[in-house]
């Protein structure tokens, strides 16, 4: 048992680093994922992941596998798309999903065009699928810093953020913090996706945010509990995913996301809050 569950991490430093990275990602990303889900913005995260890809790729093409260049490129692309789409949605009649789609498609096309000009490169796979088993000090620090910033920022914007989700008209009537809150939240999403892509790749980074959040929805009804549970599920996914990858030799990033997917499937089946079990095996109704 010990050999199977603990020794991979006790013996190998790269596994410990991967675990630390996965836990930090869970801490920052899962709460953001819960809010994305509750605001019906689940696919926004996915679109943003696509938008970040070209930024990171451009950084990579100019500076190689340079942490700073790729991070800066990803953040620049992500923030441009998020803020641009948000501003257009708020100042015109266009819905945010449509303006986001317009922005991220342009960003993606631009990125692919730039990459194609420079020819293919096998290292680009790192950008696409991440390198969770090869996190160096700088990357680990970046991921931990992003988790810290995320938790602090969420604490700061908690009240207006919740209020904007439940009753945006009320928030608008008592305060002008709606727009800045929304922008800070979008920035947190971008930061976490950028942190995630170093470990899991641009396309899978959104998985560690959304899957645990969606799973948690099936177990608890209250917001704080939902966030705590989502963080826990994301951490378990990271741990089990790394174990799975270690023992089977499968790629680590997809393994983590697949474990999160299995937890999600289990929650859909068994979760007491609207899960399928309740649907197919209905319990007898209560008296009041």
Partner 1 sequence: MTAMTAALEFKNLTLGYDRHPAVHHLNGKVAEGTLLAVVGPNGAGKSTLLKGIVGALDPLEGEIDRNGEKREAIAYLPQLAEIDRSFPISVYDLVAMGLWRRAGLFGGIGRAQKESIEQAISVVGLDGFEARTIGTLSGGQMQRALFARLLLQDARLIVLDEPFAALDQNTIGDLSELITHWHGEGRTVITVLHDLELVRKRFPETLLLAREAVAWGKTPEVLTADNLAKARKMCEVFHPDAPVCEAAA
Neighbours of 69 (CB within 10 A): 17
Choose one: 103-111, 115-123, 129-137, 173-181; the region binding partner 1 (CB under 8 A): 173-181
In whole angstroms, give the CA distance from residue 2 to residue 60.
40
- The 226-245 site mask, x for binding partner 1 (CB under 8 A), equals x-------------------
Question: Does 262 interact with partner 1 (rule: CB under 8 A)?
Answer: no
User: CA 151, 156, 159: angle at the middle one, nearest 5?
Assistant: 110
> Which listed residue (172, 228, 268, 278) binds partner 1 by CB under 8 A?
172
For the CB of residue 95, give the shortest distance to partner 1 in the complex, in Å.
16
Binder of partner 1 out of 13, 137, 222, 287 (CB under 8 A): 222
Q: Minimal distance in Å, beta carbon 84 to partner 1?
A: 24
Is the CB of 144 or the CB of 209 nearer to partner 1? 209
Cβ-based neighbours of 97, under 8 Å, separated by 6 or more: 43, 44
The torsion angles phi and psi of 252, rounded to 5 degrees, stand at -70, -45
Mask 10-39, x = binds partner 1 (CB under 8 A)?
----------------------------x-
Q: Which is nearer to partner 1, 163 or 189 (CB)?
A: 163
For residue 163, the minimal CB distance to partner 1 (Å) is 6
Among 110, 223, 228, 251, binds partner 1 (CB under 8 A): 223
State the Cα–Cα distance between residues 198 and 234, nearest whole angstrom: 17
Stretch that binds partner 1, among 49-57, 63-71, 152-160, 258-266 (CB under 8 A): 152-160
Residue 41 and residue 34: Cα distance in Å, rounded? 10
- Could you give phi then psi for residue 125, rounded to 5 degrees? -60, -30
Least gap, CB of 209 to partner 1 (angstroms): 18
Return the biggest CA–CA distance within the chain: 69
Annotate 65-107 with three-state secondary structure.
CCHHHHHHHHHHHHHHHHHHHHHHHHHCCCCHHHHHHHHHHHH
d(CA 207, CA 150): 17
Q: Which of 7, 167, 269, 272 binds partner 1 (CB under 8 A)?
A: 167
Q: Shortest approach of partner 1 to residue 223 CB, angstroms? A: 5
Quickly count: other Cβ atoms within 10 Å of residue 173's Cβ: 8
162 binds partner 1 (CB under 8 A): yes
**78's tokens:** 């992500």
> Considering the rule CB under 8 A, would residue 248 count as an interface residue with partner 1?
no
Give the DSSP letter string of 182-203: HHHHHHHHHHHHHHHHHHH-TT
Q: Which stretch binds partner 1 (CB under 8 A): 84-92, 117-125, 145-153, 159-167?
A: 159-167
For partner 1, the closer of residues 141 and 166 by Cβ is 166
- By CB under 8 A, name the binding residues for partner 1: 38, 156-157, 159-160, 162-163, 165-170, 172-177, 220-223, 226
């Amino acid at each position: 048992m010990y050999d199977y569950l603990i020794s991979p991490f006790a013996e190998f430093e790269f596994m410990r680093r991967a675990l630390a990275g996965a836990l930090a990602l869970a801490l920052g990303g899962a709460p953001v994922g819960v809010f994305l889900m509750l605001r019906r913005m689940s696919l926004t995260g996915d679109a943003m992941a696509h938008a970040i890809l070209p930024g990171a790729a451009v950084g990579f093409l100019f500076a190689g596998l340079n942490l700073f260049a790729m991070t800066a490129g990803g953040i620049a692309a992500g923030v441009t798309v998020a803020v641009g789409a948000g501003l257009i949605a708020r100042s015109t009649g266009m819905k945010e999903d449509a303006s986001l789609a317009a922005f991220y498609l342009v960003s993606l096309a631009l990125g692919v065009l730039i990459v194609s000009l420079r020819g293919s490169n096998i290292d680009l796979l790192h950008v696409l699928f991440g390198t969770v088993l090869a996190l160096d000090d700088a990357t680990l620090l970046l991921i931990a810093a992003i988790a810290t910033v995320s938790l602090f920022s969420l604490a700061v914007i908690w009240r207006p953020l919740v209020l904007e989700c439940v009753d945006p008209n009320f928030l608008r009537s008592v305060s002008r913090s709606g727009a800045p809150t929304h922008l800070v939240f979008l920035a947190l999403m971008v930061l976490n996706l950028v942190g995630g892509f170093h470990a899991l790749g641009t396309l899978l980074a959104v998985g560690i945010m959304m899957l645990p959040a969606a799973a948690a929805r099936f177990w608890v009804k209250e917001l704080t509990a939902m966030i705590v549970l989502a963080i826990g599920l994301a951490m378990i996914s990271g741990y089990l995913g790394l174990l799975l990858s270690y023992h089977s030799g499968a790629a680590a990033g997809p393994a983590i996301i697949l474990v999160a997917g299995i937890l999600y499937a289990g929650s859909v089946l068994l979760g007491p809050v609207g899960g399928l079990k309740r649907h197919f095996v209905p319990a007898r109704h209560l008296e009041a």
